[in-house]
Structure 1
Amino acid sequence: MSLLFDSFWRAVAYCMHPRVIALSFLPLILMVLLSFGLGYFFWDGAVAAVMSWLDAFQLLQAFLGWLERLGLGSLRTVFAPLLVLVLATPLIVLSCLLLVAMFMTPFMVELVALRRFPTLDRKRGGTLVASVLWSLGSTLLAVLALIVSMPLWLVPPLVLVLPPLIWGWLTYRVFAFDALAAHASIEERKSIVGRYRSSLLLMGVICGYLGAAPSLLWASGAMFIALAPLLIPVAIWIYTLVFAFASLWFSHFTLTALQRMRAQSATDMGASAPATEALEPSAAQTSLNLPPSQT
């Protein structure tokens, strides 16, 4: 637990680094351009499709009619746009995570390594191609888990548990691999992940709940629809900073664990060396016990 908290506060401090803040704007710019581009071409069609889909549910229409009688008829006009935004949120989160993993994580791992572990050997157990394939494979599994679990989101307690757990699992899978890719061998990475799996998963879940914070913007209803051009970039930047923090947290944690594991391995080898030498006969003893040469 001490390693968990120590790496947490170090990650918070590193998030204030000017380079980290400046670099966080790159995924933000890309995601804002992508979001507004897709919104420009597909927003009206998506809202119309959702409204026609909602019209088929008589129970929902009765509920909206009851809200109109209570004087809350404006909710009908924002219900479909809000639902489109809620459905688009997982795609935004996944895109932010992948962009941070591709553009920010290598820099942040290098920043942590140079400032705290300059003498740590780089065994390069993970290549760029392996990192991309690992991230894409983990993302596909997370998307599948989200789709399968969506019916359970209708149960109020589960909607607060399942999505953060899935985001946490994905965060742990992606950033634990990337943080160790340059410095650890394949065997060392497997050993660290296996030994600290519960701590790494807990770190991912905490980051998953932090990543769910921007979704609270959707709860502002009509206010959010009116301020969407301003609030969407803010939400995307918060997602980016959360995943940047996650990358730094995993980097501090895993590189410290790797350094300790190598130090322990070197200590064990040093302790076993004298015992091995004590069992081997010295050169003088060997020469005295040589059999006489035959002529």
Structure 2
Amino acid sequence: MNAVATAWARALRAQFSSRMLLLSLLPLMLSLLLWGGLLYAFGQPLFDWLQGLFAEYGWFTSSDSILSTLGLGMLKVMVVPIMAILLLLPLMIASSLLFMGVVAMPAIEGHVSRRQYPKLERKEGGSFVGSVAINLSSVLVFAALWLCTVPLYAVPPVAVLVQAALWGWVTSRVMSYDALAGHASTLERKALMAAHRWPLLAIGMVSGVLGALPGIAWMGGALLSMVLFPFLAVLSAWLYVLIFLFTGLWFQYYCLDALERLRGSGATAPMPA
């Protein structure tokens, strides 16, 4: 796992370079425009719809009973905001990942390759269309699975593990493709992603733990005051962009290092990490 640790250290250094910080502004602005507009237009209707849904089906009584059993009775007035957050989080994560994959990853790939791997031959085994396709398909599956796991929040440790696994899967799938699209051939990319699936998944899962922080901050602030809800949504969008930026750098350094070692060895199959 030395290659994983080395890539992490390089990504951490690159994360705070002026170029990378400036790069985070574009997906951030896209996220702010998207979620600012959606929350302004549909935030209150979403709360009203959830309020009516809970009242119609008697879910307030059920949730009050569950929270009281868990010793969390003071949270019963926050059931609707919490549900709104749980519904919006996968969509926010999915949109941030999509913006990063389509907008930022090509720039990250260029930055890393010029600075660290200038002699690595480009074989263009991926494409913009392929990147958009794998991003869209992955985030749709991710969002659907996230919503299916919402009930697991009744058992927080299990929920955290499941969310980290989901994050690991989606980021390893999306960012590995984008990281190798420019330099690896199609065969090299597929072989590397297969041979290094566990290190790539590990990078994704560690990033998944980091990715839980914006949601925790958003939910915690909303519990304190509903006035903070839209502001914390914006803060969460920014944090997601920064986390995805770091994750993209981590994948980029790891994948290009693996590709360089593969070609340097003259092997026909990838070397394990």
Asked if these proteins are the same fold (TM beyond 0.5), I'd say yes
Counterpart for residue 245 of structure 2: 244
In the alignment, is residue 233 of structure 1 matched against residue 234 of structure 2?
A: yes
| Alignment map for 1:98-247 (pairs within 5 Å) | 98-217=98-217, 218-247=219-248
- SS at 1:14's partner residue? helix
In 2, the alpha carbon distance for the partners of 1:195 and 1:224 equals: 48
Return closer, same or farther for 1:79/1:125 CA change in 2, 3 Å cut-off: same
In 2, the alpha carbon distance for the partners of 1:235 and 1:114 equals: 31
Counterpart for residue 282 of structure 1: none
In 1, the alpha carbon distance for the partners of 2:116 and 2:163 equals: 34
In 1, the alpha carbon distance for the partners of 2:22 and 2:60 equals: 45
In 2, the alpha carbon distance for the partners of 1:210 and 1:24 equals: 17
In 2, the alpha carbon distance for the partners of 1:259 and 1:74 equals: 56
2:63–2:79 contact (8 Å) kept in structure 1 = no
In 1, the alpha carbon distance for the partners of 2:19 and 2:53 equals: 46
TM-aligned CA deviation for residue 38 of structure 1: 1.1
Return closer, same or farther for 1:73/1:53 CA change in 2, 3 Å cut-off: same
TM-aligned CA deviation for residue 196 of structure 1: 0.9
1:11–1:248 contact (8 Å) kept in structure 2 = yes
In 2, the alpha carbon distance for the partners of 1:248 and 1:33 equals: 25
Question: Between Structure 1 and Structure 2, whose CA radius of gyration is higher?
Answer: 1
Return closer, same or farther for 1:13/1:198 CA change in 2, 3 Å cut-off: same
Aligned residues: 265
TM-aligned CA deviation for residue 108 of structure 1: 0.7
Q: Which runs of 4+ in 1 moved over 6 A?
A: 65-68
TM-aligned CA deviation for residue 152 of structure 1: 3.9
1:122–1:183 contact (8 Å) kept in structure 2 = yes
Query: How high is the sequence identity, in percent, across the aligned residues?
Result: 34
In 2, the alpha carbon distance for the partners of 1:166 and 1:73 equals: 30
Report the RMSD for the aligned CA atoms in angstroms: 2.5
Counterpart for residue 290 of structure 1: none
In 2, the alpha carbon distance for the partners of 1:30 and 1:212 equals: 21
Return closer, same or farther for 1:258/1:67 CA change in 2, 3 Å cut-off: closer
State the TM-score, normalizing by the size of structure 2. 0.89
State the TM-score, normalizing by the size of structure 1. 0.82
Return closer, same or farther for 1:36/1:120 CA change in 2, 3 Å cut-off: same
Q: Which amino acid aligns with 1:92?
A: M
Which stretches in structure 2 are left out of the alignment for 5+ residues? 269-273
In 2, the alpha carbon distance for the partners of 1:67 and 1:187 equals: 52
TM-aligned CA deviation for residue 153 of structure 1: 4.1
Counterpart for residue 43 of structure 2: 43
